Amino acid sequence: MVVTKTEKSAALAALTTAALSLPGLNAIAAVPASQIESNVQYGHYQESDNRMQIDVYHADAVLPLSDRLELSFSLDRDTYSGATPAYSLPATMTNQTKNSQGIFGTADVVSAASGGVTAQGLTVLGGLNTFATYYDGYSALEAQLIAANPEPASPAAPATLAGNVILDFTSFTSSFYGGQSNVQPIDSAGSCPGTGADGCYYEDGMVVGTPYDATNPGAHLHRLVAYGSRQVQYHNDSAGIYIRALNGQAFALNSMIFHAGTTAPGNNVTGAANDYWEILGFNKAIDPNLASGDGTNYATRVAYQTVANGFDGLLTLNSGFSNINAFWIHYAGNPKTPTDLSLEFSMSIDNVNLSGVVYVPAKTADQLAWEAEISKQVTIGLYRAILDSLVPKGTPTVQRFQMQPLETRSMPQFNAKYYFDDTTLAFSGGLSDEPDFLSNFGSVNVSHEFNDKLTTVSAGYGMTRNTITRSTDSAHSSSHHANDPNHNPTDYEALNDESTFHSFNSGISQILTKNTLFQTSLNYTHQNGYLSNPYKYVYVRGEVTPEEYYEMSQALPGAVNWKGITNLEMVGIDLFRENRPDQRNIFSISNRLNQYIPALDASLHFDYRFYSDDWGINSHTFELKWYQSLPWGLTITPGIRYYSQSESDFFAPYFLAPRADGFYSSDFRLSAFGDLSRGVTISKQFARGIKLEAGFEYITHSGALKLGGGGVGDYADFDYYMAHANLNVSFSARTFAGLEHSGHTMHHHHGAPVPAGVMFGHMMNQADEIMVGYRFMYGVQSGSMMHGGNPVDKALVADNACAGYDYGCLYQPTKMHMQMHMLDLMYAPTDWLNIMVMPQLMSMDMTMSQPIRDFIDGEEADYGHHAGTKHNSNDIGDTVTTALVKIMDAGTHHLHAGIGISAPTGSIDAELSPPSLKSASGTDTNPDSATLQDYGMQLGSGTWDLKPSLTYTGHMDDWGWGAQFSGTKRLEKNKYGYAYGDIFQTTGWGSYNIVNWLSATIRGVYTWQDKIRGESNQNHDTLSPVDFPGNYGGRFWDVGLGLNASVPEGQFAGHNISVEWLQPVSSNFNGYQLDRDGALSATWSYTF
């Protein structure tokens, strides 16, 4: 068996590495491909119970530029969504009774805060304080602590009157009394200095006198007999009436008869600013310094009331007098006896109603401190009872899930190989881009053949630099509580970190016999930087103590130091973001033995790989595949693979105590488990270098499958499958089959090629021809918002563009990109009929503005996280199948018609936010809970559409021209109740051959598109013009400029590449839309 390289006549020996091409041996030849080779692949990954699902798209092409230089390109695009495990916990910490805002139910003690983490949210506002263990156990634990720590004794109640006392002055026998009742008593009985008329008046244990006044030693009170009874009278020869109890005890002054009528003798002071009486109550009985004050403001005053001059009747005192030790009545502004004898005033009192004080003892400082400590210890004790619930041995572990929003990863990669005589040098580079992860990578590899090419050694180095963010950070706080500083929200910075990988590899490949190949390789990778999974959580008991939770609950706004409490980021009660080491060293050795069995025309592959890292993970992989050749170009490959690994040093389903090193993960991928995979692949080799392949693999992931036992529990067990289909086109098959290009050079073109942006523009004119092509289209919208053909400002958009939303538009788009990747497959069963199938891959993104008006009501909490965001949709679009029928072909002039049908293979379920889980304990979602993206971001139409076209082309010498009429007719409304607008387009173009392989084109385009019919009946936002059907479609005029390159002969004869830029000239939009920037079209095709 030999492999012949087109550019060389010599055949390589059958036993060399380059020549060993037996079925399934897969030896890589150290020579470039002789022709372009391409693969297109689709794969689907699906976990059990509707967990994660991934759609994988792959395309690659190998382009040999010479007999030594080879370029290749690949593009991978993965779209993933679904529910994924977020963390795990013991069953004893789940389904605890809870009362949140009067609603009884059950909840996990350990759970992620849905609206953002706050100190109060973890404790008093829906947190620990709402569990039944707390509110049911409070009284019992409080009583227990009080019994062990009695309350400090209250001070003895002060002495007070035993009952009601009415001073009616019936024993006021002297005409005056001159005793001073506010000075220190002369005996233990509480008597005033002086006796008889020179002393105080005594009645029912009370003392009535005047305040001490050094300026008037002879000051006294008078007896007044009026109104049929005796009264105490005070006028301008003293400082007032001062009454206390003999023993200084407290009392309440309830009421008195107060006579201060202006007609009374001496009451001729009227109209003055201080023409009123003051009554002061004091908290001490003896106070000899009243006369030195201002008569109103004293440190010992606890009650105060004024009485207007002229008052005559029953006076009720305010509540301040309910607990006093003395009271003083005097004329305002006269704390001493007036020196102005012309100042006349007079008043009298009777029936002074006194009673005992109802004593309510004030808490002492010791008692207040005791109460606070009891409350603190009760709360801490109950927090500890909740947080440190027993986890008996054998307690089941359960997982809690979270929804993964629909996201797409794109990974373009470029490779170049240069082949020396015995040495191959390879370079590669690319990037992997997804919303929260950007990776740039490159590598260099060198291989060398010797020992008559029976032995190949290789070595290489690769470097990867990653930037990691977290897509949920921008929408972390969906609840207004999470942004309320009074609730002490967390202050963690949004994730924006990096990691770097350095990889080294070496290998050897040895042909042992003509049927046996052995390969081995060694790999080492050093990783450093952020190596955690930003979406995985871990339950760690004791990382935050009950005492710290208590301090959170009591903290004043802004007083919580989150980083001082723990170095981990809190996402819920005892729930944290995982934290892995920032370095990792990985070693692996891989071995492969391929054995060809001539008698069966089959080969057996046996692979073994050993892996070890300094995180404590060791793994073994065993794989067995059988490649069996069958008639009719079929190959069937059944296989089985077993994988087993130990757990990392810092993995556990949950942690019942903190780790000293602070590293934690409950990611099941770091656990001890085994995988058992069973699969089969079937391939079919067709003529003309076309090969189809389809495969299916089913994998069981289980802790019980770990080699040697000791795997993680069955809580993390699940199954998944992977299915794929691959199309391989090797254009070198024509050379191997002895076919020549010379007779087919450019035979499939009628005159000059059509512009790249024209669909269904040419036909193949020979029966049994096949065309394979790739078409790329890229469109951009940005700049101003337009209404009709005129730009409009934000205020007009806010007021008019969202007619279905009462408050008006809150946002508007600022930029939109649209990419279409289309695979063109055409076959000519006859010379007058071509059948074309065009599957396509869509990719779109839209960036929203900041708010274009003020928030109203709760809009900021509900929709504020949309500001400035960028959302994406990526997946398969609609598939177009078209029949092209030749109507006329007169050499110079050609006319054909197209009848196309667009099948609704593209999704109309692109989500702005994923559906919500019914429960975090499972993967079932609530029906209709997803919020869909706007109409323009959907990947398909959801309808069967008719796509007719009529194309005319002509040419003469180096000139070409053409015209086309085409349209799209929506045949129905889709399942969500709407249909995109019908489309009519007409275009005309001209071309000129600059040289025999290069031509230029210019064309004009007119497009009419109707607005959307109907309206989506699914959940969708109504905040922006793009959310409303009336803001789609319009009338558009464009001019296109393009180039077309065809390879007329040689190695790449039959290949055609064209490119065109379409520039908007005039736009008349329906409703309010973002202006157009232009569109790029590029195509490649090959006919054989």
Sign of the CA dihedral 1030, 1031, 1036, 1038? negative
Task: Give the range among 32-41, 318-327, 533-542 with minimum mean pLDDT.
Answer: 32-41
> How much is the pLDDT for 875?
87
pLDDT in tens, 670-716: 999 999 999 999 999 987 788 999 999 999 999 999 999 999 999 99
**Structure tokens given for 354:** 């006194």
> How much is the pLDDT for 866?
84
User: Which of the listed ranges 23-32, 412-421, 761-770 does the model predict with the highest average pLDDT?
Assistant: 412-421
**Confidence at 2, pLDDT banded by 50, 70, 90:** very low
> How much is the pLDDT for 849?
94
> How much is the pLDDT for 593?
97
Asked if the model's pLDDT at residue 191 lies above 60, the reply is yes
Asked if the model's pLDDT at residue 568 lies above 60, the reply is yes
Q: How far apart are CA 287 and CA 789, in angstroms?
A: 91
- Please state the rounded mean pLDDT for residues 1029-1054: 91
**Structure tokens given for 783:** 């700049």
- Please state the rounded mean pLDDT for residues 781-799: 95
- Please state the rounded mean pLDDT for residues 188-211: 92
For 651, phi then psi, to 5°, come to -95, 145
Q: 729 vs 26, 62, 144, 505, CA distance in Å? A: 17, 11, 82, 31
β-bridge mates for residue 279, sequence order: 305, 329
Single out the residue of 73, 75, 76 nearest to residue 37, CA to CA.
73
- Please state the rounded mean pLDDT for residues 965-971: 97
- Going along the chain from its start, the domains and CATH numbers come out as 82-155+362-402+471-495+534-581+650-664 (no CATH), 165-355 (2.60.120), 742-915+925-1087 (2.40.128.130)
Residues in CB range of 598: below 8 A, 6 or more apart: 515
**Confidence at 367, pLDDT banded by 50, 70, 90:** very high
Single out the residue of 531, 490, 524, 487 nearest to residue 506, CA to CA.
524
Task: Give the range among 321-330, 408-417, 738-747, 983-992 with minimum mean pLDDT.
Answer: 738-747
**Confidence at 737, pLDDT banded by 50, 70, 90:** very low
Single out the residue of 884, 888, 899, 893 nearest to residue 762, CA to CA.
884
Asked if the model's pLDDT at residue 110 lies above 60, the reply is yes
> How much is the pLDDT for 918?
84
pLDDT in tens, 468-508: 999 877 654 444 456 678 899 999 999 999 999 999 999 99
pLDDT in tens, 323-337: 999 999 999 989 999
Q: How far apart are CA 836 and CA 772, in angstroms?
A: 10
For 143, phi then psi, to 5°, come to -65, -40
Task: Give the range among 224-238, 809-823, 1033-1047 with minimum mean pLDDT.
Answer: 224-238
What predicted TM-score, i.e. pTM, was given to this entire model? 0.80
Asked if the model's pLDDT at residue 18 lies above 50, the reply is no
Q: Percentage of the chain with pLDDT > 90?
A: 73
DSSP calls for 639-686:
EEEEEEEPPPTTB-S-BSS--TT--BB--GGGSSEEEEEEEEEEEEEP
Tell the burial category of 682 from Cβ atoms under 10 Å away from its Cβ (0-12, 13-18, 19+). middle
> How much is the pLDDT for 96?
92
- Please state the rounded mean pLDDT for residues 24-47: 75
Residue 863 DSSP SS3: helix
Q: How far apart are CA 408 and CA 396, in angstroms?
A: 35
> How much is the pLDDT for 750?
47
For 104, phi then psi, to 5°, come to -85, 140
**Confidence at 1035, pLDDT banded by 50, 70, 90:** very high
Q: How far apart are CA 441 and CA 1015, in angstroms?
A: 45
How many residues would you count in the chain? 1088
> How much is the pLDDT for 11?
30
Asked if the model's pLDDT at residue 1031 lies above 70, the reply is yes
- Please state the rounded mean pLDDT for residues 639-665: 97
Residues 676 and 700: beta-carbon distance below 8 Å: yes
Asked if the model's pLDDT at residue 997 lies above 80, the reply is yes
Q: How far apart are CA 798 and CA 1025, in angstroms?
A: 9
Question: Residue-wise over 617-643: b if at least 16 C-beta within 10 A, else e?
Answer: bebebebebbbbbeeeeebebebebeb
> How much is the pLDDT for 225?
83
Q: How far apart are CA 813 and CA 1026, in angstroms?
A: 8
> How much is the pLDDT for 113?
82
**Confidence at 224, pLDDT banded by 50, 70, 90:** confident
> How much is the pLDDT for 741?
42
Residues in CB range of 362: below 8 A, 6 or more apart: none
Single out the residue of 503, 496, 498 nearest to residue 445, CA to CA.
503
Residues 701 and 718: beta-carbon distance below 8 Å: yes
Task: Give the range among 594-598, 683-687, 881-885, 1034-1038 with minimum mean pLDDT.
Answer: 683-687
Task: Give the range among 144-158, 558-572, 809-823 with minimum mean pLDDT.
Answer: 144-158
Sign of the CA dihedral 910, 911, 917, 923? positive
- Please state the rounded mean pLDDT for residues 109-130: 89
711 CA to centre of own chain: 33
> How much is the pLDDT for 482?
61
**Structure tokens given for 1041:** 């400029």
1013 or 263, which is more confident:
1013
Residues 605 and 625: beta-carbon distance below 8 Å: yes
1065 or 394, which is more confident:
1065
Q: What rounded mean pLDDT belongs to the chain?
A: 90
Q: In this structure, are strands 879-889 and 893-903 parallel, antiparallel, or unpaired?
A: antiparallel
Residues in CB range of 150: below 8 A, 6 or more apart: none
**Confidence at 8, pLDDT banded by 50, 70, 90:** very low
Which helix (DSSP H) or strand (DSSP E) does residue 82 occupy?
strand 69-90
pLDDT in tens, 929-964: 888 999 999 999 999 999 999 999 999 999 999 999
> How much is the pLDDT for 101?
67
